């Protein structure tokens, strides 16, 4: 019984992501636990459906994505992922950033982005 509830909850997360992406013309920024590979997979699928390029931002998320991909736990569609150093050169409506630091850790990529101190990512009002 608990398994069915978990599946329904995870499906509702993807539905929520769909609603958030719909009709958004600016940059999308998502954060999740960097170890939550299934959530990252959902974000990738939704980004692809909305013609967004994805950049992973943050050491932990980049490392976990690399390992999960190598082990076959994460399937990244071809030409979907863009280098974080170059993602800002794309039109805002084509960008999706998946950022480490969802727990508000000091020094995390999310904290640096929020404070305007990230080396590669700078947000604008509306992002």
Q: How far is CA 46 from CA 54, 58, 103, 108, 115, in A?
A: 11, 20, 23, 24, 27
Higher local confidence (pLDDT), 69 or 88: 69
Rounded CA-CA distance 7/104 in Å is: 27
Model confidence at 1: pLDDT above 50: no
| Cβ neighbours of residue 43 closer than 8 Å, sequence gap 6 or more | 17, 30, 32, 54, 96, 98
Q: Which is it for strands 95-99 and 53-57: parallel, antiparallel or unpaired? A: parallel
Query: What does the pLDDT read at residue 62?
Result: 94
pLDDT (mean) for 18-23: 75
Place 97 in a pLDDT band, splitting at 50, 70 and 90.
very high
Query: What does the pLDDT read at residue 120?
Result: 86
Query: What does the pLDDT read at residue 43?
Result: 93
pLDDT (mean) for 91-117: 82
Model confidence at 5: pLDDT above 70: no
Percent of the chain at pLDDT > 70 equals: 86
Helical H segments across the chain, by residue range: 2-21, 37-49, 59-70, 109-114
């Amino acid at each position: 019984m608990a398994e069915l509830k978990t599946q329904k909850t995870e499906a509702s997360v993807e539905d929520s992501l769909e609603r958030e992406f719909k009709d958004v013309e600016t940059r999308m920024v998502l954060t999740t636990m960097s170890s939550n590979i299934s959530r990252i997979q959902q974000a990738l699928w939704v980004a692809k459906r909305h013609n967004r390029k994805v950049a992973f931002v943050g050491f932990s998320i980049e490392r976990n994505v690399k390992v999960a991909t190598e082990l076959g736990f994460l399937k990244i569609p071809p030409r979907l992922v863009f280098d974080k150093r170059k993602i800002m050169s794309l039109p805002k409506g084509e960008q999706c950033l998946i950022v480490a630091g969802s727990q508000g850790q000091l020094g995390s990529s999310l904290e640096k982005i929020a404070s305007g101190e990230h080396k590669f990512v700078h947000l604008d009002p509306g992002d």
